């Protein structure tokens, strides 16, 4: 079979959330024995050397030049009209108007329904329309969490039998950088610095923690600024912006604990990345985060800064709790694999 994949996100830099998902999925599809039975076209906006991927002979990059908006609905749709593959896989939400009958779409999360104020009116309506369209027209829908499947059923009347949950994997570098121990301990956050990530609440909890318990820790915020973010001018808070992969893993290794107190996550990959290097995790008790963290994190109400502060202090003071969370984290990681994600995705595509 000829399988077309909208791989634009796989070639973007820097890679976060959906970009990492698309990249790792394409990478591990190239490594599957089962993939050799098929041919793949990776559709991209420009001719690329596969973004650092080593492509076997049955994979090729299809350059679809387009310098205007709506690349998916115009340029990719035109390609579908002229050179239609037997199967089309859309890893990021938007199904083109012209598409094969055998099309599969991954929907990562419905945060725009919970935080519509974060989106321009036109973009919000496009997201809502495209979700309804994909649910109606795609042969199958993949979600990356049970929570997103539940949202599609409850908010969009999606048919449960049409929706399959396939979790992300976790990509751990073969050799991790030295953590370079610092004299000053720190608490770490990684993610876009925006309102739905609850950075304001985290800072409030951290300030309360410093005031109440006089801890020596700093709060390190890693990520680019997004909607609703206001910089914090406190000596004990360090904003590092975007960091490369090596620096990200170094910071995770050196952190006393990792906190992701978001109001909504489609998946929450940094939870697994922290667990992978033995960093204790605190995350929210809402949306997909309990599903991803398993029994290996302290779960908190993201609206309760006192609860977040107390959870951080528990981990700082209780060495046995830290050890238990770290051990459970390593066990939790066994549930997630990019190879498994690729195998399950290919099965859905070709069934």
Structural domain includes residue 90: yes
Could you tell me what percent of the chain has a pLDDT over 70? 96
Domain count for the chain:
2
Domain that holds residue 269: 186-333
State the pLDDT confidence band at 334, using cuts at 50, 70 and 90: very high
Convert the pLDDT of each residue in 101-127 to its tens digit. Answer: 999 999 999 999 998 988 889 999 999
Structural domain includes residue 295: yes
Structural domain includes residue 317: yes
Do 190 and 154 share a structural domain? no
Say which residues have a Cβ less than 8 Å from residue 294's Cβ, sequence separation at least 6: 328, 331, 332, 335
Do 16 and 74 share a structural domain? yes
Structural domain includes residue 15: yes
Do 158 and 270 share a structural domain? no
Structural domain includes residue 179: no
Do 265 and 124 share a structural domain? no
Do 148 and 16 share a structural domain? yes
* DSSP secondary structure string for all residues of 224-253: -B-TT------TTEEEEES--HHHHHHHHH
pLDDT (0 to 100) of residue 182: 61
Q: What is the mean pLDDT of the chain?
A: 93
Do 77 and 112 share a structural domain? yes
Do 118 and 133 share a structural domain? yes
Do 254 and 298 share a structural domain? yes
pLDDT (0 to 100) of residue 336: 97
Do 329 and 343 share a structural domain? no
Structural domain includes residue 174: no
Dist. CA 89–CA 5, nearest whole Å: 5
Do 210 and 161 share a structural domain? no
47 pLDDT above the threshold of 70: no
Dist. CA 278–CA 329, nearest whole Å: 7
Convert the pLDDT of each residue in 240-295 to its tens digit. Answer: 999 998 999 999 999 999 999 999 999 999 999 999 999 999 999 999 999 999 99
């Amino acid at each position: 079979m000829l399988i077309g994949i909208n791989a634009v996100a796989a070639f973007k830099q820097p890679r976060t959330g959906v970009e990492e998902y698309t990249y790792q999925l394409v990478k591990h599809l190239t490594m599957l024995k089962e993939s050799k039975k098929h041919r793949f076209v990776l559709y991209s906006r420009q001719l690329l050397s596969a973004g650092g991927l080593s492509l076997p002979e049955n994979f090729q990059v299809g350059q679809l030049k387009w310098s205007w908006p709506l690349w998916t609905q115009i340029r990719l749709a035109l390609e579908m009209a002229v050179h239609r593959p037997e199967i089309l896989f859309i890893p990021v939400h938007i199904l083109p108007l012209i598409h094969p009958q055998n099309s599969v779409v991954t929907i990562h999360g419905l945060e725009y329904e919970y935080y519509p104020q974060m989106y321009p009116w036109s973009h919000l309506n496009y997201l809502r329309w495209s979700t309804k369209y994909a649910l109606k027209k795609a042969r199958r829908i993949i979600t990356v969490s049970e929570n997103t499947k539940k949202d599609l059923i409850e908010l969009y009347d999606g048919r449960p039998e049409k929706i399959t949950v396939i979790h992300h994997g976790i990509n751990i570098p073969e050799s991790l950088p030295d953590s370079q121990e610092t004299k000053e301990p720190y608490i770490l956050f990684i993610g876009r610095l925006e309102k739905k990530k609850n950075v304001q609440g985290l800072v409030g909890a951290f300030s309360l923690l410093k005031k109440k318990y006089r801890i020596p820790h700093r709060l390190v915020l890693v990520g680019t600024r997004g909607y609703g973010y206001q910089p914090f001018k406190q000596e004990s808070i360090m904003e590092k912006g975007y960091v490369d992969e090596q620096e990200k893993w170094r910071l995770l290794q050196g952190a006393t604990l990792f906190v992701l107190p978001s109001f909504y996550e489609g998946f929450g990959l940094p939870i697994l990345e922290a667990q992978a290097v033995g960093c204790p995790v605190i995350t929210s008790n809402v949306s997909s985060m309990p599903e991803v963290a398993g029994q290996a994190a302290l779960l908190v109400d993201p609206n309760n800064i006192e609860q977040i502060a107390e959870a951080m202090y528990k981990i700082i003071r209780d060495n046995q709790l830290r050890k238990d969370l770290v051990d459970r984290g390593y066990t939790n990681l066994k549930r997630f694999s990019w190879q498994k994600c690729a195998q399950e995705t290919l099965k859905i595509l070709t069934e």
